[in-house]
């Protein structure tokens, strides 16, 4: 296989969570039980031996029912979670849009959060000054720019997060369900922006519960079932398989 333009390489990745099965009523009880070695855990494998890659300029969809492991996979690719086993090779600058409001300080205003997020993504104040108007225009939040984001709706968080992440022209954009909270008009605007970025060479890893959105946006993808990759391929074929298997 031609590997030269692989930008995300996921090899045999597994993720195991330790889940406590006991009912613990508070932090104090937890700490005491832990010191006494009285907590028993069961292992839960959220990802099992997942292997795939994403090439430059691909719009790659991750499909699966609730609990299939999609968010765990995206968090692993984004470096938020360290896999229990397996290797990940990521080439390029990444902008993750994984959890609504992640990376925002809710006490700060939208304006302050733009600079804070810019710094997290590695941009100076000067660089963010140059992007500021574009971010405010795209998010359509000009009149709320000096409002603390704790007063924002979920759609407003999504607008601001998407506008910041895309303004940084990342090599890899990771989008987990975020578009689902925006209104229809904003979703369309985000989809157009994603397509524009892909034309310029950005790779996108997308999770959405809207199979129609995955079908219309993506070109390739995978289906996860109980943490295992059960199918990889062309998006039409994948969505047809998904419909016939799960509906
Ligand atoms: N930090 C954690 N500790 C323990 N279990 C976890 C943790 N994070 C996720 N899980 C478990 O891993 C499994 C996969 O979760 P994940 O959020 O990746 O699924 P998903 O496919 O994104 O689901 P959804 O479509 O509902 O968002 C679930 O059973 C979940 O309970």
Q: How confident is the model at residue 4 (pLDDT cuts 50, 70, 90)?
A: low
> What ipTM is given for this predicted complex?
0.96
Choice between 22 and 208, residue whose per-residue pLDDT is larger: 208
Distance 229 CA to ligand 1 centre (A): 15
**155-180: per-residue pLDDT in tens?**
899 999 999 999 988 999 999 887 77
Residue nearest to atom 5 of ligand 1 (CA): 17
Residue nearest to atom 16 of ligand 1 (CA): 69
Note the pLDDT of residue 99: 74
Which of 17, 64, 208 should be mutated for ligand 1, with most atoms under 8 A from CB?
17
Residue 110 lies in a domain: yes
Distance 76 CA to ligand 1 centre (A): 12
Retrieve residue 232's tokens.
Answer: 């990889």
Give me the CATH number covering residue 233. Answer: 3.40.50.300
Q: Which atom of ligand 1 is nearest to the CA of 73?
A: 18
Residue 1 lies in a domain: no
Note the pLDDT of residue 1: 46
Distance 109 CA to ligand 1 centre (A): 31
Domain count, the chain: 1
**62-104: per-residue pLDDT in tens?**
999 999 999 999 999 999 899 999 999 999 999 888 777 777 8
**DSSP, residue by residue, the chain:** ---TTEEEEEEEEEEEEEEE-S---SHHHHHHHHHTT---EEEEEEEEEEEEEEETT-EEEEE--TTSSHHHHHHHHHTSS--SEEEEEE-S-EEEE-STTTT--TTSBHHHHHHHHHHHTT--HHHHHHHHHHHHHHHT-GGGTTSBGGG--HHHHHHHHHHHHHHT--SEEEEESGGGGS-HHHHHHHHHHHHHHHHTT-EEEEE-S-HHHHHHH-SEEEEEETTEEEEEEEHHHHHHHHHHHH-
Cβ 209 vs Cβ 71: under 8 Å: no
Distance (Å, whole) CA 163 – CA 137: 9
Note the pLDDT of residue 41: 76
Domain span at residue 102? Answer: 6-246
Q: Which atom of ligand 1 is nearest to the CA of 68?
A: 21
Residue nearest to atom 27 of ligand 1 (CA): 66
Residue nearest to atom 29 of ligand 1 (CA): 67
Q: What is the mean pLDDT of the chain?
A: 90
């Amino acid at each position: 296989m031609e590997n030269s333009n692989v930008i995300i390489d996921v090899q045999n990745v597994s993720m195991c969570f330790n889940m406590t099965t006991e009912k613990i009523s508070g932090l104090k009880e937890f700490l005491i039980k832990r010191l006494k070695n009285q907590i028993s855990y069961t292992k839960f494998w959220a990802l099992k031996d997942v292997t795939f890659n994403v090439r430059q300029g691909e719009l790659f969809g991750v499909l699966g029912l609730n609990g299939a492991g999609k968010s765990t996979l995206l968090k692993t690719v984004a470096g938020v979670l360290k896999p229990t086993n397996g290797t990940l090779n990521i080439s390029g600058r990444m902008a993750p849009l994984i959890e609504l409001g992640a990376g925002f300080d809710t006490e700060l205003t939208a304006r302050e959060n733009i600079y804070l997020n810019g710094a997290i993504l590695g941009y100076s104040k000067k660089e963010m000054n140059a992007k500021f108007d574009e971010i405010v225009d795209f998010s359509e939040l000009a009149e709320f720019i000096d409002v603390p984001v704790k007063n924002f709706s979920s759609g407003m968080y999504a607008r601001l997060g998407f506008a910041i992440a895309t303004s940084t022209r990342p090599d890899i954009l990771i989008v987990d369900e975020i578009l689902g909270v925006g209104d229809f008009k904003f979703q369309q605007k985000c989809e157009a922006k994603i397509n524009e970025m892909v034309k310029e060479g950005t790779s996108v890893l997308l999770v959405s519960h809207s199979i129609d959105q995955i079908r219309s946006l993506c070109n390739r993808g995978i289906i996860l079932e109980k943490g295992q990759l059960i199918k990889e391929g062309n998006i039409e074929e994948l969505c047809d398989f998904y419909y016939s298997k799960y509906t």
